[in-house]
Chain A
Amino acid sequence: MKKYRALFRIRFINALQYRAAAVAGMTTQFAWGFMEIFAFAAFYRVSRAAFPMTFSQTVSYIWMQQAFLALFMMWFWENDIADAVVSGGIAYEMVRPLDLYSRWFCQVAANRLARALLRCAPILIVAFLVPEPYRMSLPPDLTQLFLFLLSTALSLGVVVSFSLLIYISLFYMLSPMGVRIIVAVFSDFLAGAIVPLPFFPESLRALVEMLPFAAMQNMPLRIYSGNIAGADAWQGIALQLFWLAALLLAGRFAMDRALKKVIVQGG
């Protein structure tokens, strides 16, 4: 356990180095958040009745999404890992006395967490200060806040274990770019990155809410904004637990099989 903690720390400190990039990223995310909110506001003016969340819930959803972008978005890929598999550098990893799956898991999770922590504070502060209809609100009560934190942790787990499945698939096919883009596009869409799930058409929504993607950003963001509360929130967290366990098992299984068969070219 200790070595994974050390690994986590190294990655974390490493990711904290890129501060200028973080500042630029934050400016982008501010602008992005505002534009998103303005677009939803325009639809809100068309019809309040057709709006499936309250407006302040939508605003909180978007600000939290922008603040924790690095935690949830599937399109942040770890180029190190893909390069190691494709170039054969993976051989070095395999002789180390570390379990490869856990190692990758730590690496990806630490990078995402560091990026998110570095960026979230300024965005959150400004989101709490902007004038009224666009201001982010606190979660309704403390339990809800606690549920949000729990759900965020689970959501990170689901995102990481899902992306590990993709890395493992690189052992079988060596065309890393294409598959990754396709998977990222779909999972981000189904996780509510483009349009929150409540805005989906009813029939589709019932199905999408069962998928592992709904256990990603959809759950914590909606719990924070108060769109999902009480028993529904617990149910959502149970769904997240289920998918996390399923993805972890599938990932370990696939990794074992891949490593049994992998042949690294010498030279």
Chain B
Amino acid sequence: MRLYLKFFSLHLKSQMQYKTSFFLTALGQFLGAFTSFLGIYFMFMRFHTLEDFSFGQALLCFAVILMAYTMAEMLGRGFDLFPQMLGNGEFDRALVRPMNIVFQVLAAKMDFSRFGRLMQAILVFCYAIPNSGVVWTGDKILTLCLMVTCGSLVFFGLFLVYAAFSFFTVEGLEFMNVFTDGGREFGRYPFSVYGKNILRFLTFVIPLALFQYYPLLYLLDREQSVLYMLLPLVALLFLLPCYAFFRLGLRRYKSTGS
């Protein structure tokens, strides 16, 4: 952990060397999330509700997903560059070091310019928390925290799967974007609006709904059972197959030799 913090500050310092570039990129990230927000705003100005969710309630979903995704992306950016790492032989060097592989991949790259998007998430939270009609008691606050942290771990698992795929193929990894970028984009509305089948898929296969839609029902007092509050923790089970898949790929790994 100490070593990780060391890398953390190293990356932070190195990215701060190019301040203009850094802030412009962060601003771009912020604006990217901001136009998504405007999209939601325009739709709700016109229609006022979606299924039986209000603007503030949809924004709660949007902020949870955005924040979870961004935190996972900031720290898990190393996985994004993993295919290159395999390609240029950098990975072989990592293999001979006496250190956990996942740790090394993570420490290789962190991208702080994403904090622009994080800012957007925080701003939306500031609006959504008082305007969503939720009565904020201790358990509700805990639920919200669970949604964000478990959510970012689930996204983290998805990035791990993405990296694991690159053990088998270097091409065609773009389809994983459906779950990562797609999860972020379409998580702006509660997942139930996309219909029963999609909801089922996002519950049992890729558990994005477990930390977004179901705990939201608990927040809004539409479901009283504590189970709904704890479902984000259940979503963490998803990490097991993700990690197993990564290990499987790792066992099969043959260096390119270059």
Contact = CB atoms under 8 A, between A and B. Distances in A.
Interface of A: 18, 20-21, 23-25, 27-28, 31-32, 35, 38-39, 42-43, 45-47, 50, 52, 175, 177-182, 184-186, 188-189, 194-195, 199-201
B249 interface: no
A31 B178 CA distance: 7
Nearest to A190: B35
B149 interface: no
7 contacts: A35-B186, A35-B198, A38-B198, A43-B47, A178-B21, A188-B35, A199-B42
B145 interface: no
A35 B182 contact: yes
Contact of A200 (B42, B172, B175, B194): B42
Interface string B187-213: 001000111001000000000000000
B39 interface: yes
List the 5 closest pairs (A to B, CB-CB), nearest first.
Answer: A178-B24, A181-B28, A24-B172, A20-B171, A24-B174
A199 B46 contact: yes
A235 B178 CA distance: 37
Given A42-B50, A50-B46, A182 B175 contact: no
Contacts of A188: 35
A27 B42 CA distance: 29
Given A31-B182, A42-B193, A195 B42 contact: yes
Mostly, the B contact residues are helix
Contacts of A46: 47-51
Contacts of B20: 175, 178
B177 interface: yes
B21 A177 contact: yes
A21 B24 contact: no
A27 B177 CA distance: 10
Given A38-B193, A178-B25, 16 more contacts: A24-B172, A24-B174, A31-B182, A35-B185, A42-B189, A43-B43, A177-B24, A178-B27, A181-B24, A181-B32, A182-B24, A185-B32, A194-B35, A199-B46, A200-B42, A201-B46
Given A24-B175, A28-B175, A28-B177, A178 B182 contact: no
A201 B45 contact: yes
B8 interface: no
B29 interface: yes
Contacts, number: 110
A195 B39 contact: yes
Contacts of A180: 28
A200 B43 CA distance: 8
Contacts of A21: 171-172, 174
Contact of A185 (B35, B46, B50, B173): B35
A175 B194 contact: no
Nearest to A46: B47
B38 interface: yes
Contacts of B245: none
A178 B31 CA distance: 11
B195 A38 contact: yes
A224 to B, nearest CB: 21
A32 B175 CA distance: 11
A186 B31 CA distance: 8
B31 A42 contact: no
Contacts of A179: 24
A25 B31 contact: no
B7 interface: no
Contact of A199 (B31, B43, B174): B43
A20 B165 CA distance: 14
B26 to A, nearest CB: 8
A23 to B, nearest CB: 6
A175 B48 CA distance: 41
Contacts of B29: 181
A35 B173 CA distance: 20
Contacts of A186: 31, 35
A229 B16 CA distance: 52
Contacts of B27: 178, 182
B245 to A, nearest CB: 18
Interface string B1-38: 00000000000000000101101110111011001101
A159 to B, nearest CB: 18
Nearest to B189: A39
**Max count, chain B CB within 10 A of own CB: residue among A27, A32, A178, A199:** A178
Interface in B156-183: 169, 171-175, 177-178, 182
Given A35-B194, A38-B194, A27 B24 contact: no
Given A178-B25, A179-B24, A185-B32, A28 B43 contact: no
